[in-house]
Amino acid sequence: MSSGSTRGLLDSFDALIEGNRQQMDELYGQSGATPPRSVSQAADVGEELTRFEDLDRQSIGEGQSAVWLNKNFPDAWRYEIRDRRRQGNEVVVLCRLDLLGHKIHKAQFGSAMIPATEIGEYRNEREAESAAYESAVDDALRQCIQYL
């Protein structure tokens, strides 16, 4: 393939992407919804906070990892559960944290014990397992944060 035809294909592809972006902006404008932030916009937000050594990662309390991430990386982080398992009365998850503006990806395991349903806090075992799952995700996110 010649250089000229490659450039022409790239220009066509760029025009197609720009047209799709404009259509999405129009659709969001008609619906009154706020369009999601693109990765490039998230990168602009993330550049404000580049000194990771200044962040207080040690004082994140149980159940507070999302609060900490929202405070330090607003609209510039996401997570994905790569694996979830129940082993006896424990839930174990593998979680991947992505800091979009910094192109940082961390993956860690988190775990939590499934509380007994006799205590009265949960109506059934399914609710107890769901609560343990959320605690395990929080544990994994805190582990990821420690390695930033």
Identify whether residues 67 and 25 lie together within a single domain. Answer: no
Q: Report the candidate in 61, 139, 144 with the shortest Cα–Cα distance to residue 99.
A: 144
Identify whether residues 30 and 60 lie together within a single domain. Answer: no
> Which tokens belong to 1?
């393939």
Q: Report the candidate in 70, 48, 145, 58 with the shortest Cα–Cα distance to residue 104.
A: 145
Whether residue 46 is predicted with pLDDT greater than 60 in this model: the reply is: no
Identify whether residues 74 and 126 lie together within a single domain. Answer: yes
Whether residue 77 is predicted with pLDDT greater than 60 in this model: the reply is: yes
The Cβ of residue 62 has, within 10 Å, a number of other Cβ atoms equal to 10
Q: Give the pLDDT score at 100.
A: 87
Tokens 């499934």 locate to 114
Cα 139 to Cα 47, 61, 74, 109, 115: the distances in Å are 26, 10, 20, 8, 16
Q: How many domains does the chain have?
A: 2
Identify whether residues 27 and 77 lie together within a single domain. Answer: no
Encode pLDDT of 4-43 as tens digits: 666 666 677 677 777 777 776 666 565 445 444 444 444 4
What 8-state DSSP symbol labels residue 55?
S
Identify whether residues 67 and 2 lie together within a single domain. Answer: no
Domain range for residue 25?
1-35
Identify whether residues 58 and 11 lie together within a single domain. Answer: no
Q: Give the pLDDT score at 2.
A: 61
